[in-house]
Amino acid sequence: MNHDYVLNVNGIDYPISTDSSRNLLGVIRSDVGLTGTKEGCDDSECGACMVLLDGQPINSCSYLAAQAAGRAVTTIEGMVDDDGDLALLQRTLLEEGGVQCGFCTPGMVLSARALLDRTPNPTEEEIRIGLSGNLCRCTGYAKIVAAVARAAEQTTEDAM
Amino acid sequence: MSLVIAESLDEALAEVAAGARPIAGGTDLVVASRQGTVPLPESLVAIDRLIELSGLSGGDDGVRIGAVVTHARLMTDATIVDQYTALADSAALVGSPSTRNVGTLGGNVMNASPAMDTGAPLLVLDATAELHSSSGSRQVILSDLWIGPGATSASADELCVALQLPPRKPLSGSAYVRLEYRRAMEIAVVGAAASITLDADGMVIEGRVALTAVAPTIIEVDKLDLAATTPAVAAARAATAARLSARPISDIRASDTYRSHVIGVMAARAVDAAARRAAGETIAVPVNRATGIGAAR
């Protein structure tokens, strides 16, 4: 059965008319047309599909799109700053070598963003817990954790 | 498939009475359908926005936790962390941050997995489930609610609206520990929750222990008499009693003989941590992280 609703993604309202059983990931990629959000396991394990729902990370593969109506969805495309430049977390991932194939990176960035919004100066343990739903099969996490720590340091320094 | 986003409890109850399955975070229903194990029900009613199901309020009568309160909220709520700590321990171990942001306590309770982390804490904290239907409401103790793996005694038209937990006695503490092979996205190999009340001399007045993933449902260790013992003796008694109560299966995560042994270790560690908290010691939530993987000391 079709369900009509408005999906707000990165601050823009998209009218959606689609089957109620569709997942948020599929609607973002196919109907909204933003393909930065990835499908990995399609099983809520790997975090490649992660988006922010009202600022909190969720696995969009296992979330019904219609349940996101009226809420704020943020995808990796919404992370660039106002000038269209890469976000600080994206820059520190590049600087630390925390990106190899890049498939997990959108989810990593969104998890890290939510972590730093909640905990601006996280310990390494807090970073690892914050990223614990995001699997990377290339780099081995050390450089990703370092990139999040570096972003936190730079944010703190800029604020001083 | 049809989906109704309920805007009131009455609307949700009418949908459930008409055959719709309730959905909140979807971490069981949608994941199972994506895995291909169980297709999505033909008719769903989303209950995650109902104010009637989202409250978390404590007082002299204990605490009432709305069915759609998330794990993320449970693990950080001051009342739960301070007084119902075992529940916070367990919520902090569920899945990953993204699971905990949408997974709900009511979903756990009604999904009735014998491996659910929040179940054993709810048993030792003496929780009851508040079930509503179009024709009324009733309180059900959880040992009567859970009747088998994935099965409850709730009738098809009943919706879990809240969990009620009675007030805690002075000098009480609780803890949940879980044996795990990895630190996130894990399901309990086995787990144990304990609630311990001490007297002013540090002797145990009463204690309860419940077990995860060693029986068809979450179970409480029966005939457990921990009164007038030291916490160390209580831990040893709980270990023996837990091994006798366990009726585990062998599966991909562990053999039955291993589970039968290690459930005693987890029960003893849960009693130890609960007694230390009862005595005023601060052990951060979750115990597993505060004291090491699998809660080794």
In a domain, B150, yes or no: no
CA B187/CA B181 separation, integer angstroms: 9
Give the predicted TM-score (pTM) of the model.
Answer: 0.96
Asked if residue B286 has a cis previous peptide bond (ω within 30° of 0), the answer is: yes
Q: Which residues of A touch B35 (CB under 8 A)?
A: 43
Would you call A57 and B72 a contact, using CB atoms and an 8 Å cutoff?
Answer: no
B41-80: per-residue pLDDT in tens? 999 999 999 999 999 998 889 999 999 999 999 999 999 9
**Cβ <8 Å between A63 and B102:** yes
Residues of chain A found within 8 Å of residue B289, distances taken between Cβ atoms: 125, 129
Residue B131 covered by a domain: no
* Per-residue pLDDT, B206: 96
Sign of CA dihedral A46, B20, A14, A116: negative
Would you call B2 and A23 a contact, using CB atoms and an 8 Å cutoff? no
Sign of CA dihedral A19, A22, A24, A30: negative
pLDDT for residue B296 is more than 50: no
Asked if residue B228 belongs to a domain, the reply is: yes
Q: Any chain A CB within 8 A of the CB of B30?
A: yes
B178 within domain boundaries:
yes
Q: Look up the CATH number of the domain holding residue B268.
A: 3.30.390.50
In a domain, B16, yes or no: yes
pLDDT single digits (tens) A88-124: 999 999 999 999 999 999 999 999 999 999 999 999 9
Residue B78 lies in a domain: no
d(CA B52, CA A101): 45
Question: What tens digit of pLDDT does each residue of A32-73 get?
Answer: 999 999 999 998 899 999 999 999 999 999 999 999 999 999
Instruction: State the Cα–Cα distance between residues B217 and B32, nearest whole angstrom.
Output: 20
Predicted pLDDT at B258: 96
Q: What is the pLDDT of residue B36?
A: 83
- B-chain residues near A59 (CB < 8 A): 98-99
A42 → chain B, closest CA residue: B34
> Which of the residues B38, B98, B185, B187 would you substitute to probe the A interface, choosing the one with the greatest number of A C-beta atoms within 10 Å?
B98
Residue with tokens 């890469």: A86
Q: Does B38 touch chain A (CB under 8 A)?
A: no
Domain extent at residue B221? 172-295
pLDDT tens digit string along B93-117?
A: 999 999 999 999 999 999 999 999 9
Boundary-marking domain end, from B51, B66, B85: B51
Q: Is A57 within 8 Å of chain B by CB?
A: yes
B42 within a domain of the structure (yes/no): yes
**In chain B, which residues have their Cβ closer than 8 Å to the Cβ of A23?**
30, 34
Q: Is B98 on the interface with A (CB under 8 A)?
A: yes
Contact between chains at B97 and A129 (C-beta distance less than 8 A): yes
CATH code of B5's domain: 3.30.43
Chain segment B124-173, per-residue pLDDT in tens = 999 999 999 999 999 999 999 999 999 999 999 999 999 999 999 999 99
Is B237 domain-assigned? Answer: yes
- Residue B165's DSSP bridge partners are B63
Concatenate the DSSP letters of all residues of A37-73 into one string. Answer: S--SSSSSSS-TTEEEETTEEEEGGGSBGGGGTTSEE
B158 to chain A, closest Cα gap in Å = 22
> What ipTM score was computed for the predicted complex, to two decimals?
0.94
Nearest CA in chain B to A54: B101
What percentage of residues in chain A have a pLDDT greater than 70? 99
What residues of chain B lie within 8 A of the CB of A62, using their CB? 26-27, 30-31, 34
* Domains, chain A, with CATH or none: 2-78 (3.10.20.30), 88-159 (1.10.150.120)
| Total number of domains constituting chain B | 2
Task: Please report the pLDDT score of residue B293 as a whole number.
Answer: 56
**pLDDT tens, position by position, B172-227:** 999 999 999 888 888 999 999 999 999 999 999 999 999 999 999 999 998 899 99
Enumerate helices (H) and strands (E) in chain B, giving the number of each.
Answer: 12, 14
- Quote the CA–CA distance of A107 and A10 in Å, as a whole number: 15
